[in-house]
Chain A
Amino acid sequence: DAGVTQSPTHLIKTRGQQVTLRCSPKSGHDTVSWYQQALGQGPQFIFQYYEEEERQRGNFPDRFSGHQFPNYSSELNVNALLLGDSALYLCASSLVRRGETQYFGPGTRLLVL
């Protein structure tokens, strides 16, 4: 049973560019949440997708957007990258009715130069 997978593992971009990160949830899960973890900090909630719609959003600007596909996989898009967007981006999946236990993927390390 595959767990949560994310791609790519590492990415280097320059300021102003756009980036797309991808996530496949654990088999049987219907909800995907995205988090940003800066160095030395805990993960911060970006948004959550369920039934292909954004269900809840954290305190992140509109430059951060997402999408969920019919197979429950998800994408995180970040436009107009800033140096401060450099972080580990984590995807977590769960069942919405038992959404409290979220299972995380290995993350995508994004470096913005």
Chain B
Amino acid sequence: DQQVKQNSPSLSVQEGRISILNCDYTNSMFDYFLWYKKYPAEGPTFLISISSIKDKNEDGRFTVFLNKSAKHLSLHIVPSQPGDSAVYFCAASARSGGGADGLTFGKGTHLIIQP
């Protein structure tokens, strides 16, 4: 049972346009959501996060939106650049005992930025 789903295995976007990556979750206990970017032969790199008390968080070209009622979040990248080509993972966690649970990841979306 996949608790975090990224239904698009790949996405192709032209350079300079907006990239929108989507993620759905099923577990109501999740209260913190993160996006990671991964290049081949490297570990995931933290991009941006959002707490369930917010519905939007921005950091430069990256914005994450959270719709709790729909259990859906999205990552917007504007404008898209060639260096953004990578696999993007959505992850979620819940707090327990004063710390955070291990992260639950989606399967990832391969973003390809075309010149």
A interface residues, Cβ below 8 angstroms from B:
4, 31, 33, 35, 40-48, 50, 55-56, 58, 90, 92, 94, 96-107
Contacts and interface: CB of A to CB of B under 8 A. Distances in A.
A96 B44 contact: no
Q: Which of A44, A47, A99, A101 has the most CB of B within 10 A?
A: A99
A48 B46 contact: no
B46 A45 contact: no
Main secondary structure of the interface of B (DSSP, over half): strand
Contact of B107 (A41, A56, A96): A41
A102 B103 contact: yes
Given A42-B108, A100-B34, A56 B102 contact: yes
A4 B43 contact: yes
B105 to A, nearest CB: 3
A73 B105 CA distance: 24
B48 to A, nearest CB: 10
B28 to A, nearest CB: 17
